[in-house]
Every structure is written in structure tokens, then in C-alpha cells.
Structure 1
Amino acid sequence: MRYRSPTGRYFSVPLWFDIPKKESMLENVDAIQQEIEQYEVRTKDDLEQFRMRYISRKGVVTELFESLKQAPAEQRRTLGQALNGLKNAAQAKFDAFSETLDQQQATNTAPPFDLTLPTVPNLTGNQHPLNLVRQRIIQIFERIGFNVADGPEIETDWYNFGALNFPDNHPARDMQDTFFVSKGTAGEPGGDMLLRTHTSNVQIRLMEHTKPPIRSIMPGRVYRNETISARAHCMFHQVEGLYIDRNVGFKDLKDTLYHFVKEMFEPGTQIRFRPSYFPFTEPSAEIDISCQICGGKGCNICKHSGWVEIAGSGMVDPQVIANCGIDPEEYTGFAFGMGIERITQLKYVVNDLRLYTENDVRFLRQFAGQ
């Protein structure tokens, strides 16, 4: 009998009456079993011939099942088991052939690799500019004896404000400046839960649990409820410093920050201290440096003054020291804080703070090799 394959090719399939007769059905089953085991399939046409011959409704296995009713009754059970085994073997062989051909087809349809194509350059990543500056700041202060401390970003009112002498009516407590998480009793330990507005909370925790002398810096993320613009962001990075010991004076603060500026910025950078006010330091000062973008001539970044503020500083208020369980009569200290974004802006001449968080690879690739 002739059949047509899916490709349009005709082939002949021998039916049951084409198979040489054996002395018994068991011999026929064994002969077909051997034939199935030795059958080779190389193409889809071969697979279709195998299906038509052995597992189709007109195949030899079906013919054997139809002739089972002509066998003696005492042999039907044995013959039925043999035929079921033959049917399962034929189906398993067909499934294996199908899987092999599908795998071969998937491999053959894959586009060949073109050895003439140019190679893809091995692009290595680079560190974010904020990380570069953060590591440089840590390196500078570690060389003069400061270690690195860290603390929680979700903080209580006491550690963020109360222990630092912030009055209950201080503007920094206003919802316009601070992201509050939950409400409590302002000014008491516990109190409001909020996203820290500075890393000074780490200073308080450090003084509570560490016996002087203390000499540490505290880099980390801080949050303030501000409108995002080229000059401000609701999330930014700070690094604060704290030095508590006997006989620490304002000259120690000035020498420390002079050293930092000379190490971080270009030679010839000028620095000045301006009197200021912070609730947690007395006396207090803001630190300005000559603008690195215009060289002190005046630009939009320095508001045409030639100076840019980089940090706030001062001698730690004795009440803050006492709040942390340290005797202010025996120990004094200084503290300072600066924004890492501002330092990065001046060091690498970045004119928009939003570039730090936009993940623009054109901007980030400029810092490769730094």
C-alpha cells in the first residue's frame, strides 16, 4: 500500500499480510520486536514510515491485536502481554526518534557563527562617582586616625533631633523638611520615627556606647523632604566627623579640615571659616573653599561669589556631650559634616545633582579609570 508523507513524497508500507508468516504469533511478535530495535530513522520521511508501519491504525501491531481473537483461549493472556509490550516499545522508539530529529532541526536552523565579524570589546564596569569620592574621603581621614562608623537610616526623634539640642519648635522638625514614618512624643527617647536627616544620629549612638577618646567619621544616606532639582535632592549622602577627647580645641578642627581640603582638591585651593549657628555645636562655623569650577572668578555654582560652602562644623555643645553620658567637664570635642554630592560636584565639575541618580551610562562612563 502507498502513502504520502507530509513532504509530498510517496512510500510503500507493508501490511500484516506482507509479513512472512511464522509458525506462531509469538514468533511474529519477536520478529517485529527485533525489527523495531534495528530500525533506523534519519529524516522526517523515515519517521513517518516508522509510524505508519508500527503504530498507526493500519500498522502491523494493530493487525496483530485484531488477530488475537483467532488465537486459542489459553494463549490469549500470554499473547496479549507480549503485544502490549510490543506496542509500548514501538511508541517509545517513535518518541525517541521524534525528540532526536527535533533537536537536530533546532541545531541546524541556528545561524552559523560568522568568524569574520569584529570582536565585541570587553567592556569593564567602573565605580559610581559618589563611591569614588566617598572612598577618597574615608582614605584621607583614616590616614590621620579616624575610623568609620555606621548607624540606622530609620531613626527616632531623640537620636536625630532631641539629643542634638534641637528645640521642639525648630524648623527642621517641620514636615516640609523631614520624612516622618510614625508619630510619637517629640523630644523624648523613642518619639517620632523618621528617615534620618543627617548622620549625626551615628555620633550620638557612638558617644553613648564608646568611651573617649572617639575619632570617627560617619558616611551614609540621608533624607529630606525637598523638591528635586539641579541643586537639591530628597535623598543624598553625607559624611560627618567626630573627635572627643581631653583638651580638644577649635585649632584641632581647623587643622583637620585644612588637611582634608588640601588632600581632596587641587593645590592652591583656598579655605575660609565663617561664623554660623548649629544647635549641637558652639562655637559653630561653615567652611567655604574657592570655587573649583570657575577658579574663584564667579559662576552659577558659586553664585558669582568665587566661594562654595562644603561643610558645617564646630565644637560639640557640652549639653550634647552630657546627653550621651560623657562628662563635659573632662572631655571636649569637635564635629563636622559635609555633603558627598557637593564634594563630587566640585571635584569632577558636575553641574546637575540629578545626574547622580539617573543612571545615564554616558555620564557614568566618564569616570572609568578614576
Structure 2
Amino acid sequence: MVDQAFNPQSSAKVALPYHHPFAVAPMIDWTDRHCRFFHRQLSARALLYTEMVVADAILHGDRDRLLAYNAAEHPVALQLGGSDPLKLAAAAQIAEAFGYDEINLNVGCPSDRVQSGTFGACLMKVPEVVADCVAAMKSAVSVPVTVKCRIGVDDQDPGPALDAVADGVFAAGADALWVHARKAWLQGLSPKENREVPPLDYDRVYALKARLPDRFIGINGGIQSLEEAANHLEMVDGVMLGRAAYGTPAVLAGVDSTFFGAPPAPTDYRALFETMADYATRHIAASGRLSHVARHMVGLFHGYPGARRYRQILSTDANRPGAGAEILWRALDAVDLSLASAAA
């Protein structure tokens, strides 16, 4: 049920300084810099997020390895993990110096590793700590500071739980709150199950936006298409696609025309592969492997003739020692591009 405070007429109507109607969600092990470069070739305007990077790793680890990205990725946001305001502020300063367009605090990841570090989704239980973290980062950087959270964890009532986090972070100066519209269960469910088992409650996020019409509220969780995303934008300010964007990346080719007013145009897959082959060649020359790039491209032709053979080539041949960018072209040749382009 929608919260009693929910008023559809007041939702998503106020012009806000932070404006990113469409984003690709941060996903651990998936949205690395190679994935983001690939996604950027499909959408020039979508906001791209890194995987979560722990603040301690930035402060004490190999910053170039952790924070490097291609300039083509802009606009790109760094998602930080942590619960120490001073460490997060210091890590945010370093990230700003690297040129990231936004710093986002993870208050939604339910993995055991995150729980052992007392951050991620377990921070939903201590909204005052989240607010302190946001305030510290806001005082340290000039780029937007945002938060991505759940609607609650474990036995929390999503009403007061989400309100407490939202009120705290906005009072601390947060520029936006992205909400994964599910609870996270910290015990009994795996991270994968936490993305699928807890029921979606979009109405709870809509109610938050109705209560806070002058704040940016974005929604995430279970959204499968741009049509669904556009429907959500009737109620909130922004939409994040996660697994749908990664598993079927061709959907991103429609983002700029659907949400940013660009003229619709078919995808030039040969030009796309020219760019990706050049990128992969440069990565290999820098001691990388083709598979680091190719693994993110496997779902591109989902549902089209030749897609199965395409996936096989990228999943097997691209993993072999010494594999070069010619494997990408061989995979593309397996696809009936006339049908793929017609459907783009």
C-alpha cells in the first residue's frame, strides 16, 4: 500500500539542481572501467557508476589501479564504501582530484564482507552515522555527494527507516538519494538473493518523493526496460537500471533519445566494434587481457540470430592466452546485423 502521505500530484514536479534522469547502477564485479567504457559507447548521456570502492583501499592502496578511468566515461560517479566520516572525506577528496563527477555513499550492499566492515546496508540501522558521513564528504569536495540505500533492512519498518535516512542525509547536504526499492536481509539471504527475493515496493519510494518534492529521489530495483523506467519518472526524479543494463546492454542505445531528447538513430554496430577493438588492443598492449573487455559485451545481441554463437566466441576464445581484438570481429560476424540494426 502507498503511504498515506503519498500524493501523486506533488511528485517529481519541482526543478532540481541535481538532474540525472537515467543512470546505470553500481554493480560489484560488473561495472568496472571496461564495462563503463563500453556502456558509454551506447549512451552518451547516462550517468555511469563505478563498482563500490572501500575508502580504506583508496587511502592505503594503489589509487591509480582503483580509480583509473577513461575520459570518455564522463559523467561518471565513484561509489564509496565506509562508515568513518574522516576516511570517507579524505577518499572523496582524492576521487575529486581524479576528476569524478559525483561521490556516492553505499548504504545498500548486503554482502558479508561489507557487513564485517560495518558499512553498506547495515548503515540503514544508524541513520545518524550516514548523515555524519555525508556532512564530512560535503565539506571536503565541491562535486555532488549522493547516497544509494535500501528501503530498510531485516525487520525494520520501511516507513520510518527510509524516512530517517532520507531526512538525515538531506539535512547533511546530500544532493540526491537513490533508493533500491527492496529491503536487504543481512542474515539468511545471499547478495544475489537480496537482489531478487525481498519484494519490490516502488510505492514506498514514490511516497518519499511526494513527501520531499524539493529533493532528488531516484529509484532502482527490478526495472527491466526503458518503458518501465519512463513510467517511474512520472513519480520520481531518476531511474537506475542494473542487471537489465548489464545483461542486455543494447537497451542503453535508446537512453539518449528516450530521456535526453536526442534524435533516435539505429546503432552502428561495426563502428561500435571498431571502437571496442581499438580499446581492447590498447588494453592488451598495457598487459591486459581481451577477456577483461569482452566479458562485458557478451549480452549485446541477446535474442537475435547468431547471438548464441556470438556469446560462445566471447566466452571461450576471448579467454584464451594471447587472444587479440580480432576475436571481437569474429564474434560480430556470427550475428545477423541486418536484423539487429533494424531492431535498434
The two structures have a TM-score, normalised by structure 2, of 0.21
Between structures 1 and 2, the one with greater strand share: 1
Q: Which has the higher contact order (CA 8 A, sep 6+)?
A: 2
Q: Which has the larger radius of gyration?
A: 1
